[in-house]
């Protein structure tokens, strides 16, 4: 891990590795091969995450992270490398053909994939990250579709395990406390984590959706949280914790919690600003991004904006009145 990225534990890394090395579905394999065709030897690993992994489906848009040696290696010198270094990651759209069991003809499958350097990935899963964009994603179950070698496998295992520790370290101080004691269920911690981190990306997920994320793998989340708390206790970030029948009791310094909450209040608007800038940047890399953006907005908010023909042709120029109206209506919160 990069200097300052933080510790993990062997037990947590073993849990993560079991998830990472699970067999990948044909759609994920086909898309990963197409991604490798684009970026070649620059890629160290390809990680599959998100709703299609959770639901075990190839319908919709699969989500990948592509970890590369460097942006120059991935693109050569030029605009894409500069944009990726300035505000990682760059996001691209891709389609491929995959053949499924029992089918004679290949099926078209699609994905969006984000490119990030190994150095940036290390930083953004750790406690030094100023926003939750990466650690919030990779604290959840992830599958490693491809890795270049053992070093790449070791790196992804350690980084994903660290993302879990970072989420627990960042979120637990935000939960209710009395003096030095906090009592909460693991389900409450994760649902609060999903709610707060989604809000930093203007995603207003329904309570039912938030609960469903945890309910998809409660045993995994509970085990990962307990192992992360072990690490935080060893690091001195909490004083002690004890698991009970229906809740966990965490002892920690009120002063540390105060500064953690203050940090979150500062980081939250910064993360939202970066999310908006990242969305605008993606418009230059994604391809035909507008239909996808409208679909995502409708899926997460229930609102589908009506755009004029001029706004559809030039959304970055004439789309601002729609964005401002959605902000005023608190559709994008």
pLDDT in tens, 266-294: 999 999 999 889 888 887 787 655 555 56
Q: 84: closest CA among 285, 293, 272?
A: 285
Q: Omega of the bond prior to 20 within 30 degrees of 0, cis?
A: no
CA angle (123 as vertex; 141, 115 as ends), nearest 5: 65
According to the model, what pLDDT value does residue 332 have?
45
Highest mean pLDDT among 53-57, 135-139, 276-280: 135-139
Mean pLDDT for the stretch of residues 41-65: 94
SS3 content of the chain, % helix, strand, coil (to 5): 55, 15, 30
According to the model, what pLDDT value does residue 305 have?
65
Q: Would you say residue 333 has pLDDT above 50?
A: no
- Give SS3 for 273: helix
Class of 10-257 per CATH?
alpha beta
Q: Where are the domains of the chain?
A: 10-257, 288-333
According to the model, what pLDDT value does residue 288 have?
54
Distances (CA, A) of 10 to 92, 107, 172, 253: 34, 40, 22, 26
């Amino acid at each position: 891990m990069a200097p300052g990225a933080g510790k993990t534990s062997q037990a947590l890394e073993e849990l993560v590795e079991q998830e990472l090395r699970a067999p990948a579905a044909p759609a994920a394999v086909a898309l990963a091969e197409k991604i490798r065709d684009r970026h070649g030897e620059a890629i160290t690993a390809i990680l599959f995450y998100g709703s299609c992994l959770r639901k075990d489906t190839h319908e919709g848009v699969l989500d990948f992270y592509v970890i590369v040696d460097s942006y120059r290696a991935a693109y050569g010198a030029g605009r894409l490398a500069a944009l990726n270094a300035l505000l990682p990651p760059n996001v691209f759209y891709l389609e491929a053909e995959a053949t499924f069991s029992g089918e004679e003809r290949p099926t078209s499958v699609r994905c969006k994939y984000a490119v990030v350097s190994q150095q940036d990935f290390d930083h953004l899963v750790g406690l030094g990250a100023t926003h939750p964009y990466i650690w919030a994603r990779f604290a959840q179950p992830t599958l490693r579709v491809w890795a270049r070698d053992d070093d790449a496998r070791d790196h992804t295992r350690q980084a994903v395990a660290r993302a879990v520790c970072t989420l627990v370290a960042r979120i637990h101080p935000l939960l209710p406390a009395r003096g030095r004691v906090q009592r909460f269920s693991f389900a409450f911690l994760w649902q609060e984590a999903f709610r707060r981190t989604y809000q930093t990306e203007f995603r207003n997920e329904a309570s039912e959706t938030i609960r469903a994320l945890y309910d998809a793998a409660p045993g995994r989340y509970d085990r990962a949280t307990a192992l992360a708390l072990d690490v935080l206790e060893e690091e001195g970030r909490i004083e002690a914790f004890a698991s009970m029948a229906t809740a966990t009791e965490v002892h920690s310094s009120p002063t540390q919690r105060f500064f953690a909450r203050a940090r979150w209040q500062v980081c939250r608007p910064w993360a939202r600003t970066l999310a908006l800038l990242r969305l605008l940047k993606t418009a230059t890399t994604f391809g035909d991004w507008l239909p996808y953006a409208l679909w995502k907005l409708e899926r997460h908010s229930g609102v589908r904006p009506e755009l004029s023909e001029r706004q559809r042709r030039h959304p970055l120029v004439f789309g601002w009145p729609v964005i401002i109206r959605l902000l005023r209506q608190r559709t994008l919160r």
